[in-house]
Amino acid sequence: VDTNNSQDVGNAQAQGGLMAEVIYGENALEALDCCRERTAAVTMPVPWETFEQRSRWRPSHVAYVSSMDLASVEALEQNLPPADVVIGVGGGSACDMAKYVAWKRNIPLILVPTVLSVDAAFTPTIAVRERSIVRYVGNITPERILIDYRLIQSAPPELNRAGAADIASIQTALHDWKLAATHSDERFDSSIAAQAQRCLEQLYDAAEDIYHVTPAGIRALAELFQEEVRLCAEHGNSRPEEGSEHIVAYAIEHYTKRHFIHGDLVGFGIYAMAMLQENNLDYAVSLMKRCGIRYTLPSVERKTLESILLNLVQFKRDANLFFSVLDVKPPTPEWVQYCLDSLPA
Ligand SMILES: [Zn+2]
């Protein structure tokens, strides 16, 4: 790869010790100019339009992702012409679709995230949906991840801020992990937990840049995603980053059958579960405000949130999810009222 002065190269460690080369810069897209093989881009209309304005490079074929339902994912891959390289351009779905094609065909993968609203560009697993339930398949490391600051800055800022929720969730996740180790035979790894805690502190330090989506903020968030993915891979599951705040997020999706920005759901989950855990709610709120993570879910009616919070234990049991504060301290009707009353309007 030809890197000029405005670019910088880092390494993303994925599962199995394989490394993706991460190229950061104002013109990181220039790294695509060396792609001379048969190339297939997997994208969506809005990010592709932005990409075309920012780059002269054009692939041999462009495929648009419509749905991450497993049947649609398989159909897109089967209808895609032969390619030597697949390039994912867009948000989580485009990255996951490109990962699927590269994994299925065993061909090199380049990812060009156009927004950092989720960590999909950095995780080796591929999120697909079956009957609207998330399922993870595959295991793939991209050759390169291009983090083009100007491309990412052209996405709505609130989407980039929402990505920080999957780092902020470490606060409630670590608390649940400790509870699980105390009340069950689950293993607690204090070294991994300490490294995850350090990610939370780094997020706090980078919050202002993340809020303003500056190059430093974009790079900090991308590096925190890589570190979080590395810690989860080293531990063998998502314990260091996923706790009861994600159970809340999954429950809201399940009961409302609506699509949300993941970070908005996780933000609400962090708020409610930090309160239930009695785990420094002030810090959680301050961190979310500084990063611009939304946590009040104004688009969901209060009575819907009430019944979701009251049914969390049942939901967790039915979905067979991990041990958390919900097993130790199930939400009572009084607590639910107190929690929702305390949310800022
Ligand atoms: Zn998440």
The rounded distance, in Å, linking the Cα atoms of 219 and 85 is 25
Q: What is the pLDDT of residues 121-177, one digit of tens each?
A: 999 999 898 876 778 898 899 999 999 999 999 999 999 999 999 999 999 999 999
Model pLDDT for residues 317-338, shown as the tens digit of each residue: 998 999 999 999 999 999 999 9
CA of 262 to the centre of ligand 1 (A): 7
Per the model's pLDDT, the better-predicted residue between 257 and 282 turns out to be 282
**226 CA to centre of ligand 1 in angstroms:** 14
> In whole angstroms, what is the distance from residue 180 CA to residue 159 CA?
32
- Please, what sign has the CA dihedral across residues 64, 69, 71, 77? positive
Angle among Cα 277, 323, 292 to the nearest 5 degrees reads 50
Distance 9 CA to ligand 1 centre (A): 26
pLDDT at 56: 92
pLDDT at position 16 is 46
Q: How high is the pLDDT of residue 9?
A: 64
Ligand 1 center to residue 145 CA distance, Å?
A: 20
CA of 110 to the centre of ligand 1 (A): 23
The values of phi and psi at residue 261, to 5°, are -70, 125
Q: Calculate helix-pair angle for 262-277, 281-291, nearest 10 degrees.
A: 160
Mean pLDDT value across the chain: 93
> How many CB atoms neighbour CB 298 within 10 A?
9
Task: Tell me how far the alpha carbon of residue 182 lies from the centroid of ligand 1, in angstroms.
Answer: 24
Residue identified by tokens 């314990």 is 239
Distance 200 CA to ligand 1 centre (A): 15
With beta carbons less than 8 A apart as the criterion, state whether 12 and 19 touch: yes
Start-to-end Cα distance in the chain:
50
